[in-house]
Amino acid sequence: MALRKRGSRKGEGERLPRAQSRGSRTMAGRDVVSIFDLSNAEIEDLFALADEMSQHSRGRSDLCSDKILASLFYEPSTRTRFSFEAAMLRLGGGIISCADVQASSVAKGETLADTVRILESYADILIVRHPLEGSARVAADYCSVPVVNAGDGAHEHPTQTLLDLYTIRREKERIEGVNVALVGDLKHGRTAHSLAYGLARFGGKITCVAPKGLEMPPEMLERLERDFDVRSESYNSLADFVSEPDRLAAQVDEPVLSVEVLRFIDVIYVTRVQKERFNSQQEFEAAKGSYAITTVLLRHARPDTLVMHPLPRVDELAYEVDADPRAAYFRQAAYGLPVRMALLAAVLGKHRTKARSVEGLIKRPADVDLTSAGVRCQNSHCVTTAETYLRARFVPVADRPNRACCYYCGQEMTVHVPRD
Ligand code: CP
């Protein structure tokens, strides 16, 4: 039987997150669209469950033998899709999947809202990946079974963050105080976006290293500072062997993460240039190949500095690094299985948690419908650009008149929102 999300009414598309009522101590029926859909206590509870699951990740239980998972991937994936499907199979459940959505009725123009309303009749949980930002929110709003965001454009990838945090906790035995250098395309990298928030919530430190033009969005840096009191250091390049005196002598203008700073880094989290998110091939060509983690660079890092990568890699992480015991990225990908087993068990109501739900941690303000005012989201990658039946919904930014975020993609923009 499908697990109904609390308070949901099928197909209305206007629902607030379910299973998040005050004092709720269950993750059953929960949508995981954002890393903010789970409280810190719930994440820690999932990690404890993942520790248990990792002992059984080669076996098969019957914990979810009455459940079916549907994977709906509008974009390619190796790790996320296969690990979710393997997780469900290891839990004894079934999977329905489509290797290519263009072989489904999406090719005939079926909307996202209609597609998920069909799949809810067949499956107990939907795992959704989509190129447009805010698409997972749409899927969750229109679907009565839990939806897990497997990556929505450049926006968020919350389950990647769960396994990234789990990796840091397993390998460094803590997250608090760990200094993570997020390296790469921080403008488009959804894994880096979700991880920055996850680290901030667990007391991690953030150092950003991104080529010019690919820096972390300024509104994200503002939010990290405003909501979590996290001020990140920012650099534009990672100097392989440049010391601070060398840099000054060479009169390099842009901020370079020097070897002196590198010694304070506990985790180098590198991401590829996200080719598929660029507006033009020219822009991508200008950015590609501008940074790389090499064995030369790692000679200057501490012996206990971890190298992580959400993968896939292109040219930003040399194959020679694989032999270094500090290279944690294949272990990181492997942790995805027990972490996703834990999440599935919890969301499918097979795990009783003592952890408090998000209520009290996150207060999502009410949104305002500005459709009749002719306002549309200005983000050209927002799901509202393609799924045109969606209303123009905006959430006012506290203390900032005429600033609001799109309800779906979260992008902040200048828009007049009437306030009470
Ligand atoms: N890390 C990650 O999301 O990998 P896939 O794109 O292969 O799922």
pLDDT tens sequence for the chain (420 residues): 444 454 443 333 333 334 444 456 789 999 999 999 999 999 999 999 999 999 888 899 999 999 999 999 999 999 999 999 999 999 999 999 988 899 999 999 999 999 999 999 999 999 999 999 999 999 999 999 999 999 999 999 999 999 999 999 999 999 999 999 999 999 998 999 999 999 999 999 999 999 988 999 998 999 899 889 999 889 988 866 555 566 566 666 778 888 888 999 999 999 999 888 888 888 888 788 888 899 999 999 999 999 999 999 999 999 999 999 999 999 999 999 999 999 999 999 999 877 777 654 556 678 999 999 999 999 999 999 999 999 999 999 888 888 899 999 999 999 987 766
Ligand 1 atom nearest the C-alpha of 76 is 6
Give bridge partners of residue 267 from the DSSP assignment: 180, 306
Q: Which of 71, 72, 78, 129 to mutate to test the pocket of ligand 1 (most atoms within 8 A of CB)?
A: 78
Angstrom distance (rounded) from CA 214 to CA 8: 39
- Cα 337 to chain centroid distance, Å, stands at 16
pLDDT value for 251: 62
Residue 315, classed as helix, strand or coil, is coil
Give the CA radius of gyration of the chain: 21
Residue 370 corresponds to which amino acid?
L
Place of tokens 């002598």: 249
Nearest to 180 by CA among 37, 332, 330: 332
Cβ atoms 133, 155 nearer than 8 A: yes
Give residue 196 CA to ligand 1 midpoint distance, Å.
18
Question: Which atom of ligand 1 lies closest to the CA of 311?
Answer: 1
The DSSP code sequence of 7-65 is T--TT-S-PPPSS--TT----TT--BSSGGGS-HHHHHHHHHHHHHHHTTTTS---TTT
**Helices within 241-355 (DSSP H only):** 244-249, 259-262, 281-287, 295-298, 329-347
Q: In whole angstroms, give the CA distance from residue 244 to residue 254.
A: 12
> Ligand 1 centre from 44 Cα, in Å?
23
Q: Which helix (H) or strand (E) holds 392?
A: none
Residue 194 Cα to ligand 1 middle (Å): 14
The pair of structure tokens assigned to 374 is 């002719």
Would the pTM count as exceeding 0.85?
Answer: yes
**DSSP 3-state of 340:** helix
Give the list of residues 6+ apart from residue 265 with CB closer than 8 angstroms, or none. 179, 180, 181, 207, 257, 301, 302, 305
Q: Running DSSP on this structure, what letter comes out for residue 148?
A: E
Quote the CA–CA distance of 302 and 306 in Å, as a whole number. Answer: 9
CA of 127 relative to ligand 1 center, distance in Å: 13
Six token digits for residue 410: 């979260």
Q: Measure Cα distances from 254 to 7, 211, 232, 240, 274 in Å.
A: 52, 10, 17, 15, 22
| DSSP label at residue 367 | P
CA distances from 52 to 45, 47, 342, 370 (A): 11, 9, 9, 47
In this prediction, residue 381 carries a pLDDT of 95
Ligand 1: lining residues by beta carbon, under 6 Å: 77-80, 151, 160, 310-312
Which residue is closest in CA terms to ligand 1's atom 1? 310
What is the structure's pLDDT at 167?
A: 98
Q: 46 alpha carbon to ligand 1 midpoint, in Å?
A: 20
CA distance 239 to 302: 15
DSSP state of 325: T
What is the distance in A from the centroid of ligand 1 to the CA of 311?
6
CA of 83 to the centre of ligand 1 (A): 10
Ligand 1: residue of 74, 75, 79 to mutate (most ligand atoms within 8 A of CB) is 79
| Ligand 1 atom closest to 151 (CA) | 3
Report which of 394, 413, 389, 392 is spatially closest to residue 403, judged by C-alpha positions.
Answer: 413
Decide: 336 and 165 in contact? Cβ < 8 Å: no
